[in-house]
């Protein structure tokens, strides 16, 4: 895990500046405090900051060159199956000087060219220079676990792991993308496309390669190397015993993700995903595993019962953190916002930040459970899609199955999780039986309930922003890629709507503290398995993630494997907004002259939502977005980022 940066001048005769690329890597030094390296090849500059995880010797130094000197690479990530790939390459005649996975990438590229990435199981973003052919090859892992940003200008191409490194080289790119802000504010959507909050800076999409011609100064080709094929995935990974297949894949993934030459720990929220990872890590390691948890006493945030249960059951070493601000909440959120490079959607980042900060005291690598909910339908709103799918099958049996599931959902989760459009379909297609029909009608009546409180009468957006952006921030085309509504929603949550933002948050929060975060549930084999898995193994009865729970029950107490409550990264930000001294500091920022003059949100709307929250309604997530949006402007638009502004310590 590291930080990379570099640039290519369009003018081939212009020598690249070592001092400039060093400034780019200095600003992200926390991503790699163990070593640094820079290389100049004519108009091309490559820069690297190293966090040593595999092969801690100087042989792992980057930029790393192939044995013949033709290829040079700067790389951020881990290729977990590098041992197996190394053996295969040795059988083809390759020789190795180091035990690093970086050298395996170089040799794989020498033997297989750009197609080598299809053999990788891991997370990566790298730039690989072919000195002879004057080509710069970029690649990003299948699900975008590792970041890679690009800025193309008439002067040349600039790239880096974090946007602030690009802004250091080209301060003129410090402009706010107001269309991205328009897209972000209502629901916190971000990273669901190549655009960023800076109009000229873009991401290389996940599962994509690109080739840039350093002689002509043109992007030669960009292409996707991984494609969705649910039927092929099902045939390859699911098999006749889906639960057994998942069990084998989970064990294999955990073992691969534990490969490291430094200590490895894990996050533990008490949920099924993280708890299963803890249990499997303990199964494969004789020494106790360090677990890191963010805990609060608030009733709606308290995961302590489940965290304690898992730690006792696995004999792991608990490392809890109890982050409770006292006048320093804004300071912490400012640090988080600076490291994230963007305004962020919700206060869970605060908890995650403090978990990573605590983890740095004991380990250098941490495993986390991102992805399980989006792959295996772990969120309660997914029930709606499953109900529609049952109704779409048509006939008596489909409608009856939908009604039975609706009643189970209402019993265990509450009627609000059965959407009104689903309930209306129950009553629109004839009789399905007396008792079931009467229960469905009663459920529909209970769901109607009182109307939601009306929002403030002022517009949500400032009129100038609304006029600028029209009806939408970005156009998103999300066609039907899967056969069922549930599977289609899960796919798009993986590809755009949920996972990319969560991975962004985790990468920046962990790297701010020089921690490598790994996500074993996003092992590509587990992802492909999940995309090919029938819906009945995801949602069964009123259970979410049914197949995973079946696996978890082999290594966890039933109170954890079959718990229904779900919190994620709970943070009592709503309470903090009502208590001094943090309340006054936040109020001062969101009602500041600076925020008002940006013409993003009408001041009357901000005051309306603030008053609603102080009167007892929960508007904490929206207020959090206002806060981080203003802090982001102050950090990146009003002032250029500089190494001295790193807030990690």
Q: Residue 292: in which H helix or E strand, if any?
A: strand 290-294
What order of strands is seen across the sheet that includes strand 149-153?
Answer: 35-41, 44-50, 2-9, 156-160, 149-153, 201-203
d(CA 529, CA 239): 9
CA dihedral angle for residue 119, residue 125, residue 126, residue 127, rounded to 10 degrees: 120
Report, as residue numbers or ranges, the catalytic residues: 2
Contacts of 394 (CB under 8 A, 6+ apart): none
Residue 187 CB coordination number (10 Å): 12
HEC states along 387-449?
HHHHHHCCHHHHHHHHHHHHHHHHHHHCHHHCCHHHHHHHCCCCCCCHHHHHHHHHHHHHHHC
Q: Estimate the crossing angle of helix 620-632 against helix 329-340, to 10 degrees.
A: 60
d(CA 102, CA 99): 9
Q: Residue 77: in which H helix or E strand, if any?
A: strand 71-79
Listing DSSP states for 507-533 in one string gives HHHHHTTT-EEE-GGG-HHHHHHHHHS
CA dihedral angle for residue 9, residue 13, residue 19, residue 25, rounded to 10 degrees: 30
Residue 420 CB coordination number (10 Å): 14
């Amino acid at each position: 895990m590291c930080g990379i940066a570099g640039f290519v001048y369009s003018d081939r005769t212009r020598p690249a500046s070592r001092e400039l690329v060093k400034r780019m890597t200095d600003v992200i030094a926390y991503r790699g405090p163990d070593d640094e390296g820079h290389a100049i090849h004519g108009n091309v500059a490559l820069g690297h900051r190293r966090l040593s995880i595999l092969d801690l010797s100087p042989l792992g130094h980057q930029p790393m060159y192939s044995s013949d000197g033709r290829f040079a690479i700067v790389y951020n990530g881990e290729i977990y199956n590098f041992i197996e790939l190394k053996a295969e390459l040795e059988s083809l005649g390759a020789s190795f000087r180091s035990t690093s996975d970086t050298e395996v990438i170089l040799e794989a590229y020498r033997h297989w060219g750009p197609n080598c990435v299809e053999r990788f199981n891991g997370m990566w973003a790298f730039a690989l220079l072919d000195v002879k052919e004057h080509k710069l090859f970029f690649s990003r892992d299948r699900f975008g676990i590792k970041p890679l940003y690009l800025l193309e200008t008439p002067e040349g191409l600039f790239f880096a792991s974090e946007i602030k490194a690009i802004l250091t080289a080209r301060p003129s790119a410090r402009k706010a993308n107001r269309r991205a802000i328009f897209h972000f504010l209502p629901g916190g959507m971000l990273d669901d496309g190549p655009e960023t909050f800076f109009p000229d800076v873009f991401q290389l999409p996940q599962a994509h390669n690109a080739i840039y011609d350093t002689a002509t100064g043109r992007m030669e080709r960009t292409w996707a190397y991984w494609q969705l094929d649910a039927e092929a995935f099902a045939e390859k990974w699911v098999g006749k015993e889906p639960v057994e297949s998942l069990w084998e894949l989970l064990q294999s993934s955990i073992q691969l993700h534990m490969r490291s030459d430094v200590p490895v720990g894990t996050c533990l929220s008490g949920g099924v995903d993280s708890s299963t990872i803890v249990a499997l890590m303990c199964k494969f390691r004789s020494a106790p595993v360090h677990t890191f948890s963010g805990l609060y006493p608030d009733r709606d945030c308290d995961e302590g019962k489940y965290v304690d249960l898992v730690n006792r059951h696995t004999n792991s070493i608990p490392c809890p953190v109890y982050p409770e601000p006292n006048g320093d909440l804004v300071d912490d959120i400012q640090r988080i916002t600076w490291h994230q490079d963007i305004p962020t959607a919700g206060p869970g980042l605060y908890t995650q930040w403090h978990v990573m900060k605590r983890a740095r005291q004991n380990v250098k690598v941490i495993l986390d459970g991102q992805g399980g909910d989006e792959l295996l339908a772990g969120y309660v709103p997914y029930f709606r899609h499953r109900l529609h799918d049952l109704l779409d099958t048509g006939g008596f049996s489909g409608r009856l199955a939908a009604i039975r599931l609706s009643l189970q959902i209402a019993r265990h989760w509450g009627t609000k999780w059965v959407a009104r459009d689903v309930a209306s379909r129950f009553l629109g297609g004839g009789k399905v039986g007396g008792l079931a029909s009467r229960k469905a009608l009663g459920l529909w009546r209970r769901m109607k309930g009182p109307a939601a409180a009306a929002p403030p009468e002022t517009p949500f957006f400032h009129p100038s922003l609304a006029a600028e952006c029209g009806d939408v921030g970005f156009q998103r085309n999300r066609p039907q890629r899967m056969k069922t509504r549930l599977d289609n929603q899960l796919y798009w949550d993986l590809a755009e709507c949920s996972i990319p933002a969560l991975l962004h948050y985790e990468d920046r929060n962990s790297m701010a503290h020089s921690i490598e975060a790994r996500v074993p549930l996003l092992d590509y084999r587990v992802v492909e398995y999940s995309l090919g898995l029938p819906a009945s193994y995801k949602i069964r009865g009123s259970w979410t993630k049914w197949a995973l729970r079946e696996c978890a029950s082999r290594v966890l107490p039933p109170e954890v494997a079959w718990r229904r409550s779900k919190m994620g990264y709970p943070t009592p930000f709503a309470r903090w907004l009502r208590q001094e001294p943090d309340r006054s500091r936040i109020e001062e920022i969101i009602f500041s002259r600076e925020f008002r003059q940006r013409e993003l949100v009408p001041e009357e709307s901000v005051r309306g939502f603030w008053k609603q929250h102080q009167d007892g309604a929960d508007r904490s997530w929206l207020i959090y977005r206002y806060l981080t949006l203003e802090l982001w402007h102050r950090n990146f638009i009003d002032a250029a980022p500089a190494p001295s502004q790193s807030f990690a310590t």
